[in-house]
Amino acid sequence: MTWFDLSVPLRTGMPVYPGDPEVRIASALTVEADGANVLSLAMGSHSGTHADAPLHVGDGWAALDELPLSLFGGVAEIVDIRGVARGGAITAAQLAGIAPAGMTGNPGEPGNPARILLLHTGCAAAWGTDEYLKHPWLDAAAAQLIVDRGYRAVGLDALSVDPSSPGASDGRPADGSFPAHAILAGNGCIIVENLTGLEQVQRAREAGSDVEVFLFPLNIPGADGAPIRAVARRLPAPELQPAVLYPTALQPTVIRALSRQEVQDAADRLVAAFAATDTEAYFAAFSPQATFIFHPEAQSLGSRSAYRALWDNWLAGGWRVLECRSSEQDIQLLGATAVFSHRVATTVQIDREGGRDTSDERETIIFSRAPDGSIVCVHEHLSACPQ
């Protein structure tokens, strides 16, 4: 198993946020004089690679020890934003492609996001220089997008999610406030700063591997922040499922079994596309041979093309999704096929005059891995929930 160290070393005189306590590490005891080596450590709570608690920017908000440990570990969703200018804003448009964070835990029980968002700015290369202060930062819309996608932990290889010097020219309000911190922390999100080595995570993801990230802080009661040892590991690929074979002219192709996370990801993408009335993204998720059954309307459509024609007709009449909420999710894994079901409450505009209709239904979607490795929906069944 491959492990990645994503933490900067703690050293005397190391870089700190302007105005923060300096780091001082010295010998307190020695083997020669005292029988043991012991170091004396003096530093601020936001020294080196560290986690910000919501308490950092809001009195009365949660301290680190009040947050569930599950927030500090998860599968990495990494975004390459090395193209953003030094000192420039990271916008919502640049983060629009991030997947929903997903949830851990059993259906119907409280859970936490399954993913941790990592922003690869490339600023780690400037660590220890004045250039490190000129880092990209999140504008308010980007911070809100992160929260809206369900993330409650975000880390980056830069000094801060806000500009590190006041002044309107670099996006920091003249009053010295921290807008991105306030949006993230105000929604219970932990912020990890001064990461390093994110190119290792990015290479692993580009090679097709999932990467699990661990960002556990020191256990300091009431802490607004604390240093962490940020590490990550490449996760093994799901086991092959030999029961599903697609023969070729030379040899059969073994199709990998679906993992729970893959099914959750596919379902999240589908629900997000439906909620946005994103026609292309929505229908790209279905096999051309997919079937659709809707009750109590008693409509049964035999193919994606037939459903697409119905969808286009709805859009032409003014139909669009106003709100879509998913809950009570369940996943059954059946090798290279899986059954996903959830309760979905949807409010739609049904005509150009603004008429509305609200439904509360149970949706069952069957996913299957195609021979090319992609995950497609092969059947959708929607029925009214009993009142």
pLDDT digits (tens, 9 = 90+) for 316-325: 888 889 888 8
State the average pLDDT for the chain.
Answer: 87
pLDDT tier for residue 173 given thresholds of 50, 70 and 90: low
The predicted pLDDT at position 20 comes to: 96
Share of the chain above pLDDT 90, in %: 53
pLDDT tier for residue 183 given thresholds of 50, 70 and 90:
very high
- CA 27 to the chain's CA centroid: 41
Q: Find all residues with CB under 8 Å of 314, minimum gap 6, and list them.
A: none
Check residue 107 and give its pLDDT. 45
**DSSP string for residues in 225-288:** EEEB--EEEEPPPPPEEEEEEEE-SSSEEEEEPPPHHHHHHHHHHHHHHHHTT-HHHHHHTEEE
Token pair 């990230």: residue:
213
Identify the pLDDT of residue 120: 97
What pLDDT, on the 0 to 100 scale, is given for residue 242?
A: 44
Reported confidence tier of residue 352, pLDDT bands at 50, 70, 90: confident
Tokens linked to 159:
């000094």
Concatenated DSSP letters of 149-197 = TT-SEEEESSS-SS-SS-BGGGTB-TT---HHHHHHHHTT-EEEES---
How many Cα atoms within 13 Å fall on the side-chain side of residue 312? Answer: 8
Residue 67 has pLDDT above 50, yes or no: yes
pLDDT attached to residue 258:
86
Backbone phi, psi, residue 201, to 5°: -65, -45
The overall pTM is greater than 0.75: no
201 contacts: CB under 8 Å, gap ≥ 6: 4, 6, 76, 78, 118, 120, 211, 213, 232
Q: CB-based contacts of 176: which residues, under 8 Å, 6+ apart? A: 166
Q: How far apart are the first and last CA of the chain?
A: 50
Residue 46 or 273, more confident: 46
Q: pLDDT tens across 105-144, in order? A: 544 445 678 899 999 999 999 999 999 999 999 999 999 9
Quick: pLDDT tens for 217-253. 999 999 999 999 999 999 876 554 444 444 444 444 4
Place of tokens 């000129």: 134
**Per-residue pLDDT tens for 291-310?**
888 765 556 777 888 888 88
Residue 137, burial from CB neighbour count under 10 angstroms (0-12, 13-18, 19+): buried
- What whole-number distance in Å separates Cα of residue 286 and Cα of residue 264? 15
Tokens of 16: 């700190």
- Percent of the chain at pLDDT > 70 equals 88
pLDDT value, residue 31: 97
Structural domains for the chain: 3-234 (3.50.30.50), 255-384 (3.10.450.50)
Q: For the chain, give the number of residues.
A: 387
